[in-house]
């Protein structure tokens, strides 16, 4: 990814737990959290996450790309 692309990218970090997922929206420099919120770790929570990301991207015309990262989980 070119630096120009990075500057127009919204980075999303998701911390997963059994009940809720905590979401942080970050800029390229990761010096400040643009927005953070929690959604349920279920289908309605996934729909809410998608809608909130879409709404945020619509409000920021300078952000044209999206990168999402989340932690891996394991089952025992």
pLDDT tens for the chain, residues 1 to 76: 666 688 899 999 999 988 999 999 998 877 778 999 999 999 999 999 999 999 999 999 999 999 999 987 766 5
Q: Where are the domains of the chain?
A: 3-70
Distances (CA, A) of 62 to 15, 28, 39, 57, 72: 26, 12, 25, 9, 30
Task: Provide the CATH topology of domain 3-70.
Answer: Nucleotidyltransferase; domain 5 (3.30.420)
**Burial (CB count <10 Å: 0-12, 13-18, 19+), residue 59:** exposed
pTM, two decimals, is: 0.84
- Say whether 29 sits in a helix, a strand or coil: coil
Backbone angles phi, psi at 8, to 5 degrees: -105, 20
């Amino acid at each position: 990814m070119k630096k120009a692309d990075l500057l127009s990218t919204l980075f999303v970090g998701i911390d997963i737990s059994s009940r809720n997922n905590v979401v942080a929206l970050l800029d390229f420099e990761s010096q400040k959290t643009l927005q953070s919120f929690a959604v349920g770790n279920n289908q309605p929570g996934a729909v809410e996450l998608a809608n909130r990301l879409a709404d945020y991207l619509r409000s920021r015309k300078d952000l044209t790309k999206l990168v999402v990262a989340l932690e891996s989980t394991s089952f025992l």
